[in-house]
Amino acid sequence: MDLTGSSIVAGQVRKTAGAEFYSYNPSNGERLQPAFKEAGADLVDLAVTAAERDFVAFRQLPHSRRALFLEAVAEQLRVIEDQLVGRANAETGLPQARLQGELTRSVNQLLMFADFIRDGAFLQTQVTPALPDRQPLSRPDLRRTEVPIGPVAVFGASNFPLAFSVAGGDTAAAFAAGCPVIVKGHPAHPGTCELVGRAIVAALEQCGLPRGIFSLLQGGSHQLGAELVTHPLLRAVAFTGSYAGGKALFDIAAQRLEPIPVFAEMGSVNPVFLLPQALIEGSDSLASGYAESVTLGVGQFCTNPGLLFAPEGPELERFVSAVVEHLGNLGAGVMLHAGIKQNYHSALETLTVQPGVERLSVSAASSVAGGCLATPALLRTTGERFLANPLIAEEVFGPAAVIVACSSRQQQLQCAERLRGQLTATVHAAAAEAAPCQELFSILERKAGRLIYNGFPTGVEVCPAMIHGGPFPATTDSRTTSVGTEAIRRFLRPVCWQNAPPEILPPELR
């Protein structure tokens, strides 16, 4: 199908007089056709108004029909698979094999939610029967269910153009809950966004559903995001991206006359802790595993393990040398777009000039010029310096990591206590180190949403048990997840019916 460079509002391609922008191939700097147009306040209003108009019809569909719609979206994505992967490769520089895997993940997420909602058990209904003769007060009949909250805005992520974008996990969860979705596409891959948006429209037509339950707004301005979040008919926001972007949307939503929740996933340094015996027993394998995790996807994962804490001594020196060797064998990788490359270099430079921080490997800034290429960077500091300087704990989005040499077991625990909220936290321990491992995890479970034992955090399984979230600033709500079936809870709210006759109750409560 030919790209139009337009937004999609309630199933219709909408031309706009907004500013023109293009996507670029980060591998070679080529400007990609066509030109896209920035959506304005008029399209925001049309999209959210259409979503509110069709919300009642969508939420009242039998769960089986909503499930069929999710399956139809998955089917339509497979129909355009070759073109979709090709365009995503051109706009992001991500390898085709990685994008094929991401598309499969996107399809499986949709199918997972279809299965999850089909029998209605996700509503978690509860019935407390009346006790009219109870003394001193009778008890009414009380019945609890969950209802969709209304139109939801989803902000596409740059680093997952399929799995966290137009038909990604947030959209799948919102549709499964019965909420219309307005997607604000990412400006670095607008062609990919349009192709997926048109696949969703095709699924709506296939299922005979009202078109107002989906819109795609193209553009990259802060104003567009603010217009969307402040629209009075919008009921929630889902965001994956930087701390600055997520916090800005959170603040805007909180300042509305009627505040709404913003479920923002804003990144993490995903600390890794090595206990002494584990370091002795597995230094070489730990070094290779850590280097691979740090550089996976050119470090452009929110689960990238950017901090490692280990006891100082000869075993750590061997580990560090092995990591440096592994990183030195890796060439430059293509980052997603020029803005991410610039931010990586800037954050790396800020970290490098901190007192007591030593650079152990060549940085991307000094080894690669031009384009969107970056090479890995490994830095080192002490536990004392880490505890004294909060900047060392800041995320560097890219293939960089800091190794923190701790002078004692107590200092390692102090470093764990000093950490802010994280998506993940990892401990490597030998079998004989169960007690110190438990002591560390007792601290880290207050810091992170996923705790990993003898593994690495990159790679997030899509399943009911997964928690992809964590305390602030990793996310804006540590009680939720953006991956797995529990992600649906963000877009539902509980309602209790009291003494209602069966004929007016929702079907699941009769």
pLDDT > 90 in the chain, percent: 95
Going by pLDDT thresholds of 50, 70 and 90, the confidence category of residue 283 is: confident
Q: Phi then psi for 420, rounded to 5 degrees?
A: -90, -175
- Give the span between the Cα atoms of 230 and 255, in whole angstroms: 9
For the purposes of burial, counting CB atoms within 10 Å of the CB of 351, is it exposed (0-12), middle (13-18) or buried (19 or more)?
buried
Residue with tokens 């569909």: 61
Residue 382 has pLDDT above 70, yes or no: yes
pLDDT surpassing 70 at residue 320: yes
CATH architecture of 272-453: 3-Layer(aba) Sandwich (3.40)
Confidence of residue 367 (pLDDT cuts 50, 70, 90): very low
Positive or negative torsion for Cα 432, 434, 440, 441: positive
Amino acid at residue number 314: P
Report the half-sphere exposure of 358 (CA within 13 A, side-chain side).
Answer: 9
- Mean pLDDT across the stretch 55-67? 97
108 vs 485: CA distance, rounded Å = 12
For residue 431, what are its two tokens?
Answer: 């079998």
Numbered ranges of CATH 3.40.309.10 in the chain: 272-453
pLDDT tens figures, 17-29: 889 999 999 999 9
The secondary element (H helix, E strand) that includes residue 38 is none
What is the C-alpha separation between 217 and 43, in angstroms, rounded?
8
What is the pLDDT at residue 370?
Answer: 57
- Tokens linked to 124: 């978690």
pLDDT in tens, 191-240: 999 999 999 999 999 999 999 999 999 998 999 999 999 999 999 999 99
pLDDT of residue 18: 87
User: 213 and 180 in contact (C-beta within 8 Å)?
Assistant: yes
Residues in the chain: 510
Instruction: Determine how many CB atoms are found less than 10 A away from the CB of residue 319.
Output: 23
Among 64, 87, 46, 36, CA closest to 214: 46
| Region(s) of the chain under CATH 3.40.605.10 | 7-266+475-509
Model pTM? 0.95
> Tens of pLDDT along 138-181?
999 999 999 999 999 999 999 999 999 999 999 999 999 999 99
* Number of CB atoms found within 10 A of residue 135's CB: 6
Output the pLDDT for position 365: 44
Neighbours of 230 (CB within 10 A): 16
Rounded CA separation 200/182 (Å): 12
pLDDT in tens, 325-341: 999 888 889 999 999 99
User: Residue 373 and residue 338: Cα distance in Å, rounded?
Assistant: 9
- Pair type for strands 126-128 and 142-148: antiparallel
- Catalytic (active-site) positions: 265, 302
Q: Does domain 7-266+475-509 have CATH number 3.40.605.10?
A: yes
Provide the pLDDT confidence category of residue 476 given band limits of 50, 70 and 90: very high
| Helices of type H across 80-127 | 81-92, 96-117
